[in-house]
Structure 1
Amino acid sequence: MTIDRRTLLLAGLALPVLSARASEPVTATDVLGRTVRLAAPARRIVLAQGRQLNALGLLHPDPVSLLAGWGNDLERQNADALARYRARFPAIDALPIVGDGGTANGFSLERAIALGPDLVVLSRSLAGTRRGPGDLVEKLEGAGIPVVVVDFFLEPLRDTVPSLRALGRLIGRDEQADKLIAFYEERMQRVASRVAGATRPSVFVHAHAGGYDCCMTAGQGTFNEFVHAAGGRNIAAAMLPGATGQIGLEQLISADPDVYVATGGTHLAKLGGLVLGLGIGEADAEASFAKLLATPSLSTLTAIEKRRAFGFWHLFNDTPLHVVAIEALAKWLHPERFRDIDPAATLAEGARFSAIPLDGTLWIAAPAAGKP
């Protein structure tokens, strides 16, 4: 599905004004249940993981202006979004780097402290259990730096709303956060009400499809929550104990799911995988998807033979706008219950909150039988 760039760019400019005075103390509760207190809304933030800009950019019209430093993982994980941030906010290239935010070892505690931030944003994976001498939360707080833990990846349906509420409060954007949360919850509740009582088809989510050996997928949390919310049953949930992992091709063929769903991104272009994402044209996406579905090891799956094969942007896995992917999934899994639902309209509405345009081919479906 291709989204019109001009429409979403104009929509993204309609943002509400700041809802809190810059000098007022603020208090929020993060996803670990910790109370975070600031003397005033944060204006020098360190994002341990650059990918958290996805959420910050839905709450503030110029999220880059709030940053004192950040992790460099966005270049690797979401280059298409980063290109849009660079185009609108050139100052992003001058931001100090605090390491690769993908792992605790990649994050430089010393660099973060030296920047003198008024807030550090950590994900659950970096914050860990808050036990032991290596705990980043404890060390940052020991240096007098407030920390908020948010997450949109490990258990997105549980953590998205409290994460948005905490971030919105701590940057003085309560009103924007409340509006975004209302939009998110209304759409999620609409999906839940329509899939209630439906038979759940079996689903396989092929992560980073076509770019690596088969088959990376989601176990617990992450895309498993997308599938469950959309009224499906993720076959890998019973095979993998962690959030992500790999199953063998034989396991996939033996399970023979009712529906095959691939995830793709611009990072797979050089690897010959499924290419979806911001700025990707429909023709390029369709060509990469056709190539993927023609892979001999996959083409024998019943779901692919019956054209019950679909794909969506992998980076839906770390943004509050994953509600759009869940809506698309629900429409694929239960077309009779979602005939009047248009995920493109939902994305356009969500894009009103975004600091960058969200145009491009972000999901795709196999053509019906008889069509090229």
Structure 2
Amino acid sequence: MTTPHRFGIGLRALALTLALLGWALPAAAELRITDVTEREVRLPEAAQAVILGDARHIMVLGMLLDDPVARVVGWRQDKGLDPARRAAFAARFPALEEIAPVGAGNRELSVEATIAQAPDLVILSLTDARNPTMEVQLLQLEAAGIPVVFVDFFSHPIENTTRSLEILGQALGAEDRAADLIAFYTERLDTVRGRLAEAQPDAPRVFVQVHAAPGTCCATVGGGVFHDFIEAAGGHNLGQDAVPGIMGNVGLENVIAADPDVFLATGGAHMRERGGLVLGAGVAQDEARAGLEALLSGAGIADLRAVELGQAHAFWHLFNDSPMHIALIEYLAQTFHPELFADLDPQATVAEMQARFSPIDVDGTWWLAAE
């Protein structure tokens, strides 16, 4: 079976042959895309052979394309899919296992491996655009004539998610699907924002421990990522007052002194081997519950007022790089302001997003409240 990439090469060869014979195919309109860094990127047509800078962004492509794997010729394996979703993707799209690696951890990108896949587009994150160690690779890709577009679902997700979906929809020829997803996302975000603006409730003071494990307090977020979700849901992120960048560490004594109204913790399958909090796709609630109880019974954490009053919650860390985070915002809004958002059903939002937009449907434990 001919792949879309090879089919694209065949069309270009046919156009050259016809031109030599004095004929011509109708000229396709050039795509002009402005990415999240305000760069203009030009493509002769919708991209058919894509390199993903973050492997997990295949989930976003899956929300826009019937067969996202057919478009992906290579990916950097840093920030890959969790085991449950990768298995579900491979079962649905066996060609997933044939995607070429073009880099691994520490944001490494092999330009040689990338060029070898003859991509017509490389999709990178805003993190890469701000990474000085990427400057040489970006210049090399430019010299090779390979377009690069930057998107962002991580650093500033509230600001850039809909814009990034528009960018990908345009670049992949999936504008209609992108518009549907944007409408779904925006309607729910506007509901939360609108009620908060009208009611103007007091914002609870919130501390979030990321990659949480007993005895390793406390990695947290300053600005961006989960900070954006907390603020959008009507809370105040205490990490912003202590961490100058996106992520950093805060001592347990500082958390105790801050005395948060709500304590949050993130976890995922990646924390299983570290003895930490495990939540997310393919995770049973019993395992998640045991991890949360172990975390909250630790020295210092157990004495927090938020924990004593039952205002402690855990949620899946990998909400951090996907439009699926709209369901987490609903959950947090309901947690911070239960009377204002009693009618929200974040679990139903996850189910609807998987049914309408995702090529896979995976059960799991997405969040959990302390008992």
Structure 1-normalised TM-score? 0.88
Give SS of 1:68's match.
Answer: strand
1:212 deviates by 6.9
Q: Which amino acid aligns with 2:84?
A: D
Give SS of 1:134's match.
Answer: helix
Q: Is 1:321 aligned to 2:310, yes or no?
A: no
CA distance 1:255–1:85, change in 2 (3 Å): same
| Larger relative contact order (CA 8 Å, sep ≥ 6) | 1
2:93 alignment counterpart: 89
1:53 alignment counterpart: 58
Q: How far apart in 2 are the matches of 1:327 and 1:47?
A: 29
1:355 alignment counterpart: 359
User: 2:214, 2:294 within 8 Å by CA — same for their partners in 1?
Assistant: no
Q: How far apart in 1 are the matches of 2:88 and 2:203?
A: 38
Q: Which has the larger radius of gyration?
A: 2
User: 2:215, 2:298 within 8 Å by CA — same for their partners in 1?
Assistant: no
1:286 deviates by 1.4
Identity %: 45
Spell out the pairing of 1:115-264 with structure 2 (5 A cutoff).
115-128=117-130, 134-196=135-197, 197-210=200-213, 213-264=216-267
User: 2:84, 2:362 within 8 Å by CA — same for their partners in 1?
Assistant: no
Match of 1:339 among 339, 342, 355: 342
Q: Which amino acid aligns with 1:46?
A: I
Q: How far apart in 1 are the matches of 2:338 and 2:37?
A: 37
> Is 254-263 or 203-212 further displaced after alignment?
203-212
Q: Is 1:307 aligned to 2:310, yes or no?
A: yes
Q: Is 1:29 aligned to 2:31, yes or no?
A: no
Corresponding pairs, count: 342
User: 1:227, 1:234 within 8 Å by CA — same for their partners in 2?
Assistant: yes
Q: Which amino acid aligns with 1:91?
A: A
Structure 1, unpaired ranges of 5+: 1-22, 368-372
1:220 deviates by 1.0
Spell out the pairing of 1:262-301 with structure 2 (5 A cutoff).
262-301=265-304
1:59 deviates by 1.1
Q: Deviations over 1:214-250 (max 9, x none)?
A: 1011111111111100000011101111000110011
CA RMSD of aligned residues (A): 1.9
Structure 2, unpaired ranges of 5+: 1-27
> Is 285-294 or 239-248 further displaced after alignment?
285-294
User: 2:109, 2:137 within 8 Å by CA — same for their partners in 1?
Assistant: no
Q: How far apart in 2 are the matches of 1:224 and 1:65?
A: 35
1:10 alignment counterpart: none
Match of 1:62 among 61, 64, 67: 67
Give SS of 2:101's match.
Answer: coil
Q: How far apart in 1 are the matches of 2:344 and 2:133?
A: 48
> Is 93-102 or 250-259 further displaced after alignment?
93-102
Structure 2-normalised TM-score? 0.88
User: 1:72, 1:101 within 8 Å by CA — same for their partners in 2?
Assistant: yes
Give SS of 2:135's match.
Answer: coil
User: 1:49, 1:101 within 8 Å by CA — same for their partners in 2?
Assistant: no
User: 2:214, 2:298 within 8 Å by CA — same for their partners in 1?
Assistant: no
CA distance 1:349–1:147, change in 2 (3 Å): same
> Is 323-332 or 108-117 further displaced after alignment?
108-117
1:4 alignment counterpart: none
1:79 deviates by 2.8
Q: Deviations over 1:299-357 (max 9, x none)?
A: 00000000001111000000011111111001000001011111011112222101211
Q: How far apart in 2 are the matches of 1:133 and 1:311?
A: 34
User: 1:127, 1:135 within 8 Å by CA — same for their partners in 2?
Assistant: no
Q: How far apart in 2 are the matches of 1:153 and 1:54?
A: 14
After the TM superposition, list the runs of 4 or more consecutive aligned residues in structure 1 that deviate by more than 4 angstroms. Answer: none
> Is 259-268 or 84-93 further displaced after alignment?
84-93
